[in-house]
Amino acid sequence: EVQLVESGGGLVQPGGSLRLSCAASGFSFSNYEMNWVRQAPGKGLEWISYISISVNTKYYADSVKGRFTISRDNAKNSLYLQMNSLRAEDTAIYFCARDRDYYDPSADRGVFDYWGQGTLVTVSS
Amino acid sequence: IVMTQSPATLSVSPGERATLSCRASESVNSNLAWYQHKPGQAPRLLIYSASTRATGIPARFSGSGSGTEFTLTISSLQSEDFALYYCQHYNNWPRGFGQGTKVEIK
């Protein structure tokens, strides 16, 4: 069974930092591209970052570029999001989401077939 | 690319049909997915490539459209279908979601 479990959320002051983790199980994590998506209170979903299987390629939403860094450790089946210079508007539930199997030629990049339940980040003084 | 969903809220009786719309500000070809999201749960992939049901998704869910206009139809609403629904394009970067349509019990 595919499982994605986020952790690391919490209350942080504006300007502070936090590192989120996503533990993956039930599939060959190293074969899959991964993403982070967030949902601010009362708002819709917002894609914020992508990472390739080899970590050579990363993309970010403009709203987090230069402040957030996505990474992964394939040996630990884990995805990470380092969040620096946090702002009140970063308050949200953060989800990790599985993207395509890189080795499946029929798979569409950008389709998120499994998601975690999310971890809440609150930025407030 | 800006994704716009309508209506914001759809009130439907169980057993009735629900039709949700999603419009892209420019063509996304058929690179469009639909997700169902219930509070406190992980979002669930319903449809990708505009019209392909994901694994395990009941046949009452169907998607159509291409270019800039897309539709998600739930043919006969079941109690478990009352939720938020999002469309998402993956035609280019950044990926974009619509603001969501809430399907509620009438």
Q: Which of B20, B30, B49, B95 would best serve as a mutation to test chain A binding (most A beta carbons within 10 A)?
A: B95
Quote the mean pLDDT of chain A. 96
Is residue A120 within 8 angstroms of chain B, CB to CB?
no
Position B106 scores a pLDDT of 87
Position A106 scores a pLDDT of 87
Query: What is the average pLDDT across A33-38?
Result: 98
- A-contacting residues of B 69-98, CB under 8 Å? 86, 88-91, 93-98
User: A98 has which bridge partners?
Assistant: A34, A114
Cα–Cα distance for residue pair B33/B50, rounded to 1 Å: 6
Is residue A40 within 8 angstroms of chain B, CB to CB?
no
| Residues on chain B touching A5 (C-beta within 8 angstroms) | none
Query: What is the average pLDDT across A31-39?
Result: 97
Percent residues over pLDDT 70 in chain B: 100
Give the pLDDT band of residue B65 (cuts 50, 70, 90): very high
Cα–Cα distance for residue pair B51/B64, rounded to 1 Å: 5
Position A105 scores a pLDDT of 86
Give the pLDDT band of residue B8 (cuts 50, 70, 90): very high
- A55, pLDDT greater than 90: no
- B25, pLDDT greater than 90: yes
Query: What is the average pLDDT across B59-74?
Result: 98
Cα–Cα distance for residue pair B37/B82, rounded to 1 Å: 9
User: What CA–CA distances, in Å, run from A97 to A48, A59, B34, B49, B67?
Assistant: 11, 14, 14, 18, 25
Give the pLDDT band of residue B1 (cuts 50, 70, 90): very high
Give the pLDDT band of residue A123 (cuts 50, 70, 90): very high
Q: Which of A41, A37, A116, A112 is nearest to A81 (CA)?
A: A37
A47 closest CB neighbour out of B49, B94, B99: B94
Query: Tokens 């003084």, residue?
Result: A125
Tens digit of each residue's pLDDT (9 = 90 or more) over A67-102 = 999 999 999 999 999 999 999 999 999 999 999 999
Residue of A nearest to B40 (CA): A117
Query: What is the average pLDDT across B47-61?
Result: 97
